[in-house]
Chains A and B, each alone.
Chain A
Amino acid sequence: MKVITPAPSNRSNNQLDESMIPAINIVFLLLIFFMIAGHIEARTDQLKMPVSQSSLTLKDDAVTIQILNDGRYIVNGSPVSGELHDTLGPLVTGTDAVVTCKVDKHLSAEVLDPILNTVRDLGIQQLNIATEQRL
């Protein structure tokens, strides 16, 4: 027995394509929105920054100290093996140097003590705490 299947009509294909156009438009708009409004950054589960309402933007030229939730200190991306003072000292020039501290919000405030003491010993007057502004 020979089965004759109807050939797909060009007309129905064209109608399907045209009905997809609004959906494609919306997808493109969503794509553009996420590309422009969001930004991509490295995610780490080891550091959840505290929330504040400050609107001051983070400075890129600052010496950055990270305190992970396991208590490890990382200065400018390198783990601190010895004393924090020895690692931080050569990176800081002058009392107007900017030091930014990225610390996990769940940690005890005691983890800031070594940084506060080191910064004071080095004569740095201002310490920035990196926070997250919720939109």
Chain B
Amino acid sequence: MLLDTAPASKRLISITPLIDVVFILLLFFMLSSVFNKTTRLEVITAGASSGKAVSDKQHTLILLADDYVTLDGQRFSLGDGAYLRRLSLLAEQGDMLRVAARSGVSVQALVSLLDELQRMGLANIKLGPTKKQ
């Protein structure tokens, strides 16, 4: 018995140029894609009101070079336990913290400090101009 089989369909599009184009697209997207997300860090400028309930107490935090800070005139290293405990206390009390950098401190160091303070729960932070040495 003879079976009536359909003839094999002829390929209309050559696959090689298609792969070439896809590779070029892949290279383009691999090289030009950016995966880092752009975010923002909110700071209240000194002299403005944050709009949040603030206690009467104000404290001053000055970021020095080489990972040191002064909190109300007392010098700490950034990882110091006593410094972190004091910041936690300030966060609990809702005290206002005026933050400034000493001249020569990089923007990255200042942003890292502000980021850490916000993550510790300090809501009333005001950023002021740098302090000259």
Contacts and interface: CB of A to CB of B under 8 A. Distances in A.
B84 interface: no
B15 A135 contact: no
Residue picked from B25, B41, B47, most chain A C-beta under 10 Å:
B41
Main secondary structure, interface of A, reads mixed
Contact of B38 (A124, A127, A130): A130
A24 B30 CA distance: 16
A34 B33 contact: yes
Interface of A: 17, 20, 24, 27-28, 30-31, 34-35, 37-41, 43, 49-59, 95, 100, 103-113, 116-117, 119-120, 123-135
Contact of A131 (B40, B47, B106, B130): B40
Interface residues of B, number: 48
Given A24-B22, A37-B33, A50-B111, 9 more contacts: A27-B22, A49-B38, A54-B41, A57-B38, A109-B109, A113-B129, A120-B45, A127-B127, A129-B40
B38 A132 contact: yes
B39 A34 contact: no
A128 B41 contact: yes
Interface string B29-62: 1101111111111111111111100000000000
B9 to A, nearest CB: 12
Contact of B45 (A31, A104, A107, A127): A127
Contact of A125 (B25, B33, B50, B109): B50
A105 B107 contact: yes
A130 B114 CA distance: 13
A63 B107 CA distance: 20
B115 interface: yes
A82 B40 CA distance: 27
B15 to A, nearest CB: 6
Contact of B37 (A27, A95, A103, A132): A132
Contacts of A106: 106-108
A124 B109 CA distance: 24
B103 interface: yes
